[in-house]
Amino acid sequence: MTIKFKINGRTIDPTNVDMEMPLLWFLRETQKLKGTKFGCGIGQCGACTVHIDGEAVRSCTIPLASLNGKDIRTIEGLAKSDNDLHPVQQAWIEIDTPQCGYCQSGQIMAAAALLAKNKNPTDEEIDKSMTNICRCASYTRIRKAVHQAAKFYEA
Ligand code: FES
Ligand code: FES
């Protein structure tokens, strides 16, 4: 089986890889993109959230075989450059959102996907869309940071 997909704009043609391997493992172990985190491994915590064709998905549940022709973006590919961060990243820094930080790349990817569709979500819409778990319970700051990012979209 031959497949191709893009990760952060780079075409990937995986060879000698088990096509049933979950995307999360491929990102971390083969591509060395360690910003996407392993939490539960069963699609519940959201630590492994990436974008596939603009949708926030939990990469621990996605086999490589399903990715032919897909456009994948990870936290490493969210900013245009180190000097031109994504609005969500800027807001996360301004609000000083993380505590331990472990869940936060997944939270940021979920927030970026939400704001791409809804430029000014309510608290209820944020809670409904972002079901990522934070063991440090930083949910209040996460909501505040999403609202702060929404202001960048308005500007
Ligand atoms: S590691 Fe994928 S949802 Fe928890
Ligand atoms: S900041 Fe620690 S798990 Fe979310």
87-154, which class in CATH? mainly alpha
Collapsing DSSP states into helix, strand and coil, what is residue 144?
Answer: helix
Structural domain boundaries of the chain?
A: 5-77, 87-154
| Model pLDDT, residue 124 | 97
Q: What is the pLDDT of residue 153?
A: 78
Give the C-alpha separation, 117 to 29, whole Å: 31
DSSP letters for 2-71: ---EEETTEEE---SS-TTSBHHHIIIIIS--TTSPPS-SSSSS-TTEEEETTEEEEGGG-BGGG-TT-E
Please, which residues have CB within 8 angstroms of residue 45's CB and are 6 or more apart in sequence?
A: 39, 103, 106, 132, 133
* pLDDT tens digits for range 96-109: 999 999 999 999 99
Q: Is 121 helix (H, G, I), strand (E, B) or coil?
A: coil
Specify the ligand 2 atom closest to the Cα of 137.
Answer: 4
Average model confidence (pLDDT) across the chain = 96
pLDDT at 154 over 80: no
Give the Cα separation of 75 and 72 in Å (integer).
10
pLDDT band of 155, cuts 50, 70, 90: low
Q: Percent of the chain at pLDDT above 70?
A: 99
Q: Residue 4 pLDDT > 80, yes or no?
A: yes
pLDDT value of residue 1 = 73
Q: What is the pLDDT of residue 120?
A: 95
137 Cβ below 6 A of ligand 2: no
What is the pLDDT averaged over residues 15-42? 97
Region 122-138: mean pLDDT is: 97
Residue 152: is its pLDDT beyond 90?
no
| The domain over range 5-77 is classified in CATH as 3.40.50.720 | no
Contact 112, 142 (CB under 8 A): no
Contact between residue 44 and residue 50 where contact means Cβ atoms under 8 Å apart? no
pTM equals 0.97
Residue to probe by mutation, ligand 2, list 44, 97, 103, most atoms within 8 Å of CB: 103
